[in-house]
A = this chain, B = another copy of it.
Amino acid sequence: MAISTAAPAQRRYQRLEDFRVPHGFRGRSALYTQLWWIVQSTLFGMSPQALFGWRRWLLRVFGAKIGKGVFIRPSARVTYPWKLSIGDHCHIGDEVVLYTLGEIEIGECAVVSQRSYICTGSHDYTSPTFDLYAKKIVIEPEAWVATDVFVAPGVRIGTGAVIGARSSVFTDVPPGTIYVGTPARHAGVRTMKS
C-alpha cells in the first residue's frame, strides 16, 4: 500500500525543506568542522588504544579543554571538540558519543562508560520547521555514567552520582545518589566503604 503524500503547503507537522541549522550554531565553519571529522575517523579513530596522549593532543588542537591523565578510547566520538571540557583523570569509554551541539562539561575523576550517549541537541517538534536547539550538559566530578546510558539535553548529574547501565537520564540527578531505569529514577544513595 502506497503512503499518502502532501504538497508542502499542506504539511501539518514537519516541513523539512525549510529546516535550517541556525547561523553560527556550530561555533566554527563547516569546513573546519568537516576537517575535524576526517581527523577523528583517521588519526584519532585508527590510533592504537594505548595512545591516550595523542588523542588528548588532537582534541586540544581542535579546541577542547582536556585535563591531565584523561583516558579516551579511540572509538569515542566528539561532535565539536571546541564545546567540550573534561577535568583531570576522567575515563571516556568505547563508542561513547559526546554530542556537543551544546557544551558538555565533565568534572574531574568522572567516568562515562562504553556506548553511552551524551546528547545536548534536540528539535522543537511543535514547530513545523523542526527547529534545532541545544542545552548544556554537566557531569560533575566523580560521577559514574555506566554502560549504554543516554543523557538528555540540559541534564546535570551531581558529584559522585552513579547512573546504572542501560539507563536514560531526562532529569537532573542529585549528588551522591544512584539512578537507574528509563526514565532514570532514584534507586539509592551511594555509600562508600569506610
Answer whether A109 and B11 are a contact pair too, CB < 8 Å, given A41-B46, A138-B3, A182-B182.
yes
Contact partner of A117 (CB less than 8 A), chosen from B115, B123, B182, is B115
Binding site secondary structure of chain A:
loop
Residues of B within 8 A of A11 (CB): 109, 141-142
Assess whether B126 is in contact with A191, with CB atoms less than 8 Å apart: yes
Q: How large is the interface on A (under 10, 10 to 19, 20 to 34, 35 or more residues)?
A: 35 or more
Residues of B within 8 A of A140 (CB): 3-4
Q: Give A108 to B126 CA distance when docked, in angstroms.
A: 18
Q: Give A123 to B113 CA distance when docked, in angstroms.
A: 11
Answer whether A16 and B150 are a contact pair too, CB < 8 Å, given A48-B34, A166-B182.
no
Q: Give A148 to B116 CA distance when docked, in angstroms.
A: 11
A67 to chain B, nearest CB (A): 10
Assess whether B126 is in contact with A192, with CB atoms less than 8 Å apart: yes
Assess whether B142 is in contact with A12, with CB atoms less than 8 Å apart: yes
**Hey, what's the 0/1 contact readout for A63-100 against B, CB within 8 Å counting as 1?**
00000010000000000000000011111000001010
A43 in contact (CB, < 8 A):
no
A133 in contact (CB, < 8 A):
no
